[in-house]
């Protein structure tokens, strides 16, 4: 099967057109998405037979290790043993258990421009990248004499690598808001009320949007919404440990609140007190406002780095839509092994 090199957008999702046919296949089935490995994972060709990953003797490996990343293709598959797996290689059959993977970190969709298609209108934009423009440094002298160029370190903090004078031009291919843009604003000591940053095409550098004038507007990508998942607490909520037991905070729970709190994993955990597996979100934060008596000052509880809340107790509030990384049967089996 051959597909056209340029993806098309149909009703908000991206596809490749199969050559010679009026049929399409999702881009992520071909380009894949990147996920973080949360547990050491063997590679399988069937539910019972392991296989090496890699095509050459020097590149072959039998296991992926926790903390690394891997590209997966398409949705998860349910094998005969009842467990779900993601495809990680080809053309040979190569899969790893979905339980060993975290949420999607990034998409590997080709940087090629796209054609937008709908049932009523078709617009070909392949001649020009709509997410690309030229910016020119234009810093007011009373504000700063030069514009800083920044990169992000491994811990996610911005670092100034150099400064450039007025009139310097760059081709940029992304305009971003969110946490990283806010950090840049702090780093350069300037706020414009709506922090955004431009990515300089071809290199891992960024420039603050307040420091430049753009030839045209680019769509703003919300870094938080594209990289994280959020929940709210519509009621006072218990916090659980990874073994399905409720954390003891002297009767305190996370207080009802509508703030968006980060979560990074959705998984089943066996709850011994209920004798069944429940679906849980893993909390990114470690400190939360807690319920109190009417006369007490509002306090916080520290839940640690491995804390969970029942999906039924909270409400999904936006960002990446997580899918369970395991099944109820896998959660039960893991509990029985302990």
Distances (CA, A) of 110 to 7, 16, 33: 8, 11, 11
pLDDT for 294 equals 47
Tokens, residue 306: 């491995």
pLDDT for 9 equals 65
pLDDT for 175 equals 92
pLDDT for 203 equals 86
Residue-wise pLDDT for 94-134, tens only, equals 888 888 888 777 665 544 444 444 433 333 433 345 678 99
Other beta carbons within 10 Å of 214 = 14
Give Cβ neighbours of residue 219 (< 8 Å, ≥ 6 apart): 131, 175
Which runs of consecutive H residues, i.e. helices, occur in the chain? 179-188, 223-227, 328-337
Which residues are 237's β-sheet partners? Answer: 254
Which residues are 90's β-sheet partners? Answer: none
pLDDT for 266 equals 93
Backbone dihedral region for residue 304 (phi beyond 0: left; psi -120 to 50: alpha; all else: beta):
left
Give Cβ neighbours of residue 13 (< 8 Å, ≥ 6 apart): 26
Q: Which residues of the chain have pLDDT under 50?
A: 1, 55-56, 110-128, 294-296
Tokens, residue 56: 């050459």
Other beta carbons within 10 Å of 327 = 20
- DSSP-based three-state secondary structure for 203: coil
The closest alpha carbon to 104, from 133, 136, 71, 80, belongs to 71
Q: What's the CATH code, domain 133-218?
A: 2.30.30
Domain ranges, ordered by start, for the chain? 32-107, 133-218, 227-337
239, 225 contact by CB (below 8 A): no
pLDDT for 110 equals 46
281, 311 contact by CB (below 8 A): yes
């Amino acid at each position: 099967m051959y597909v056209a090199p340029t993806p098309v957008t149909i009703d908000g999702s991206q596809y490749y057109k199969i050559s010679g046919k009026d049929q399409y296949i999702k881009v992520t089935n071909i380009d894949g998405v990147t996920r973080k490995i949360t547990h050491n994972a063997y590679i399988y060709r069937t539910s019972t037979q392991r296989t090496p990953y890699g095509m050459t003797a020097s590149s072959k490996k039998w296991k992926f290790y926790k903390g690394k990343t891997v590209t997966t293709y398409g949705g998860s598959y349910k094998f005969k043993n009842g467990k779900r797996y993601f495809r990680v290689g080809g053309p040979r059959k190569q899969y790893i258990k979905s339980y060993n993977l975290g949420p999607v970190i990034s998409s590997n969709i080709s940087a090629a421009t796209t054609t937008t298609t709908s049932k009523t209108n078709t617009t070909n934009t392949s001649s020009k990248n709509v997410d690309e423009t030229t910016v020119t440094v234009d810093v007011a002298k009373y504000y700063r004499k030069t514009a800083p160029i920044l990169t992000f370190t491994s811990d996610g903090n911005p670092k100034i690598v150099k400064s450039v004078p007025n009139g310097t031009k760059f081709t940029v291919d992304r305009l971003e808001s969110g946490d990283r843009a806010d950090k840049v604003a702090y780093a350069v000591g300037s706020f414009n009320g709506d922090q955004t940053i431009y990515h300089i095409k071809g290199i891992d550098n960024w420039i603050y949007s307040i420091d430049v004038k753009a030839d045209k507007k680019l769509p703003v990508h919300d870094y938080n919404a594209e990289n994280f998942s959020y929940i709210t607490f519509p009621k006072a909520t218990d916090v659980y440990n990874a073994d399905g037991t409720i954390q003891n905070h002297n009767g305190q729970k996370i207080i009802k609140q509508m703030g968006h709190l980060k979560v990074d994993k959705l998984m089943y955990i066996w709850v011994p007190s209920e004798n069944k597996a429940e679906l849980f979100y893993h909390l990114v934060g470690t400190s939360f406002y807690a319920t109190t008596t009417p006369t007490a000052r509002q306090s916080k509880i520290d839940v640690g780095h491995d804390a969970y809340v029942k999906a039924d107790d909270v409400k999904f509030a936006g960002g990446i839509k997580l899918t369970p990384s395991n099944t109820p049967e896998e959660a039960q089996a893991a509990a029985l092994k302990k």
